Structure 1
Amino acid sequence: MWGHIRGMLQRDAQLADKKDFISGFTALHWAAKDGNGEMVQKLMDIAYRRRRREALLHVDSKAHGGYTPLHIAAIHGHTEVMLLLVQRYGASVHERDNDGKKAWQYLGTGVSDELWALMGGVQHSKYWDKTDDKDYREQPKGLSKLFQPHRKHRHATRSMY
């Protein structure tokens, strides 16, 4: 339905920056949560094409909980979206959420040293112990289901014996 969305945004590009009243998410937050880099680009391109003196889409807009789209992409492990937000659209790696955490503090294991550095996190070294910054990477226990990744339901097989 991108054609309908594009038409509405061309009439009023500020719609892209409107927030969901429940989560505080903008369209950019939802695209980051889904890992949809193509949608991130489409939203940002419309905002930049239609820009006058004011920013029509704020790349560092905060949702409830203080999460920016970059925080959301990091929580869900969407590397492509993190790279787009920081490198192409200038998302700030210094923004903190309401728990005082920066986006890099939600990065999981297996992330490249380059991404850690880009996000403003500590550099890995051969002397670095992965447990040293465990507290910074953990998701808060009270993190709403809204912010959790989509999980496919698995049916457990039960033994008859």
Structure 2
Amino acid sequence: MSLFHRVSLDPLEKEWLKSCAVGNMAAQRRLLAQEPGLVLKKDFITFTALHWAAKHGREDAVDMMLHSGADVNVRSGYTALHLASIHGHQDVVQTLINTHNAKTSIRDYHGKMAVQYWSGSTDVFDKPESQSGGRCVRRRRTQRYALPSLLLSRSRSQGQLNLEFRTPPQSCSHDALDLHV
């Protein structure tokens, strides 16, 4: 007896998953028009059509899936953003984040965020700051912290080490540490 039970798929579902795995957009469009609920179906690995499109770098398929009701942050071990990052598809990463508001803070089952798989510049994970035409634009806040100066001195006569922390005066120039919140 096998540990893996054979599960028969509906023929439409089988064709859908197959077309998603190979990136056949014409078949995907035809099948979605026939049955819109297919966009939410998962294969045996638990990938959705969105996952397959992100993995293969198919920006057009990613857009189609998301406009057809797919959840941009659905997780099957990985999100679509994780898969696009792992496979180095910068345009898909940018589309997921900038156009479809994919969450960059979601961790996969290994505890990693998508940016941790990215081998290029992590700037692609930053949303561009757009001009607010009456809308609320979320920006990073920068807080500056002055680093204290440290004075280490040794007294030869008494054989002691003295350690002093000093806050630099506001008027002098000093090193600063920028923290982005």
TM-score under structure 1 length normalisation = 0.59
Q: Which residue, 26, 33, 48 being the options, matches 2:55? A: 33
Q: Please, which runs of 5 or more residues in structure 1 have no aligned partner?
A: 48-55, 119-161
- Check the 8 A contact 1:93/1:103 in 2, yes or no: yes
Query: CA RMSD of the aligned region, Å?
Result: 1.6
Count of residues paired in the alignment:
104
1:16 aligns with 2:39: yes
1:20-99, aligned counterparts within 5 Å? 20-21=43-44, 23-45=45-67, 47=68, 56-63=69-76, 66-99=77-110
Fraction of identical pairs, as percent = 38
Q: 1:87 to 1:11 in 2, by over 3 A?
A: same
What letter corresponds to residue 36 of structure 2 in structure 1? A
Instruction: Report the alpha carbon displacement of residue 116 of structure 1 after superposing the two structures with TM.
Output: 4.6
Distance in 1 (CA, whole Å) between partners of 2:61 and 2:74 is 17
Distance in 2 (CA, whole Å) between partners of 1:107 and 1:80 is 13
Q: Please, which runs of 5 or more residues in structure 2 have no aligned partner?
A: 1-23, 128-181
Distance in 2 (CA, whole Å) between partners of 1:106 and 1:17 is 25
**Secondary structure, counterpart of 1:58 in structure 2:** coil
- Check the 8 A contact 2:58/2:92 in 1, yes or no: yes
**Superimposed CA distance per residue, residues 30-85 of structure 1 (whole angstroms, 9 cap, x where no aligned partner):** 1111111111122223x1xxxxxxxx31111111xx20000000001110000011
**Bigger radius of gyration:** 2
User: Going by fraction, where is helix more abundant, 1 or 2?
Assistant: 1
Q: 1:69 to 1:95 in 2, by over 3 A?
A: same
Other-structure match for 1:114:
123
What letter corresponds to residue 78 of structure 1 in structure 2? H
User: Going by fraction, where is strand more abundant, 1 or 2?
Assistant: 2
